[in-house]
Amino acid sequence: MISCPVCENKRAIGKVGSEQYFCWDCCVEFIIHGNETTVFSVESDGTLTLYLEPSDSILPFGSL
């Protein structure tokens, strides 16, 4: 059974295409190709962007 690489849930996974899945709990799409998994965030307009861990995407205050 496929599990989400972000939240590790196994119950809320839907198949989008060949080797491509969607997690309804954390709203990410992921592709499993062999031993490699690539995770994408689904943006508000429906486009996919490479998923960044929440801690990686937060900049310290004043760093801009």
Q: Cα-Cα-Cα-Cα dihedral of 47, 57, 26, 3, to 10°?
A: 100
- pLDDT of 57 > 60? The answer is no
Question: pLDDT digits over 2-43, tens only?
Answer: 999 999 999 999 999 999 999 999 999 999 999 999 999 999
DSSP H stretches of helix in 1-64:
54-57
Q: What is the pLDDT of residue 63?
A: 47
Q: What is the pLDDT of residue 5?
A: 94
Q: What is the pLDDT of residue 47?
A: 92
SS3 content of the chain, % helix, strand, coil (to 5): 5, 40, 55
